Amino acid sequence: MPSCTLTLKTIPNAPCDEIAGWLGAALKIKIHAPALEGRANDAMLAFLATRLALPRRAVTLVRGDKSRHKVIRIDGLTLPEARARLAPPAAT
């Protein structure tokens, strides 16, 4: 089964959950949940699992539990597949 890791820069307490774009190799994500008792981490992992069309258990936090810079592991996708699924929708 393929898997990959992805570097994130997270912003908690945002108005809504959204992908803000790429900062070099890191994906910038805004999360509505506060950075309190792991709530933002849980919300971020659930949001990413939904965006990647994977079960929640396939997306896990590897590093950065209390940091804005995080590394996650994605089971079931290669890095190019994950990047393609996380790309912003095409403008029409």
Cα distances (angstroms) measured from residue 73 to each of 70, 90, 91:
10, 26, 29
Beta bridge partners, 21, equal 28
Please report whether residue 53 resides in a domain. Answer: yes
CA distance 54 to 92: 27
In the chain, alpha helices (H) = 39-52, 79-86
Please report whether residue 92 resides in a domain. Answer: no
For the segment 11-56, what is each residue's pLDDT rounded down to a tens digit? 999 999 999 999 989 999 999 999 999 999 999 999 999 999 999 9
Residue 92's pLDDT is 58
Q: Report the candidate in 14, 4, 22 with the shortest Cα–Cα distance to residue 62.
A: 4
For the segment 59-75, what is each residue's pLDDT rounded down to a tens digit? 999 999 999 999 999 99
Which domain covers residue 80, as residue numbers? 3-86
| Number of domains composing the chain | 1
Confidence of residue 90 (pLDDT cuts 50, 70, 90): low
Residue 1's pLDDT is 84
